[in-house]
Amino acid sequence: MTPEEIGGMLAQSLEDDRLSRTERQALTETIGELDSLAARQEVLRMAFELARKRLEDPRADLIFEWLEDVVRILGAKHHEPLKTSSQAHFSPGDDCLDAILRLLNQARQTAVICVFTITDDRVSRAILDAHARKVSVRIVTDNEKAEDLGSDIERFEASGIPVRVDRSPFHMHHKFAIVDGRSLLTGSYNWTRGAANDNEENLIVTDDPRLVLPFVETFERLWTRLGHENP
């Protein structure tokens, strides 16, 4: 089945905001026939694109239930072992910083960033460069850190990058990014010079879809919730 045909199957299944038993079985069989990680990731991209177009729908909760069903099917075990790559990085030093810059510089289509604080100008330049290359960049961050001295959040917004801020009494404390829907970077490392120069921090970079998919889903949930809470 071609990507266009799978996209049509997804769109049809979303018409009533749910995956019926028949639709779930058909999608499971179709996904089971895909012979590469790239093909499954393309289905995931199409599913999120369909859901994103409907996020303003008052039935958004139902749409996310549909999306969760699709993600579960994509993450199901298949007889062929997944060929994945993962690396660990540590600071102080430039190891974590270089990993972030490599990932952002490799972005071709999308980059979603969910980070507590961003003040390192080297990282900020890479984000702005990705935006200038027409990569679709979106950022989620915390309100207290967005207003800190040295924060680059206003700079991103001024450049036209969509930003959503958690303004709850609690902290949006995640530190992760996903590039092109297939490469995940996550760990304790905040995107600051202090984290690079002084702190004991860590980052993992992986393309394992069993890890990437839950983070993609988490970002989209946060993006939708903060869009409703922060007009």
Catalytic residues: 173, 175, 180
Q: How far apart are CA 231 and CA 221, in angstroms?
A: 16
SS3 157: helix
User: Per the structure block, which two tokens stand in for 89?
Assistant: 């990085």
Which residues are bridge partners to 140 per DSSP? 114, 164
Q: How far apart are CA 44 and CA 60, in angstroms?
A: 18
Q: How far apart are CA 141 and CA 102, in angstroms?
A: 21
Tokens 């702190």: give the residue: 199
Q: Which residues of 91-103 are buried (b: 16+ CB within 10 A; e: fewer)?
A: beeebbbebbbeb
Q: How far apart are CA 67 and CA 97, in angstroms?
A: 33
Say if residues 213 and 74 touch (Cβ distance below 8 Å): yes
Helix axes 3-14, 60-74, angle to 10 degrees: 140
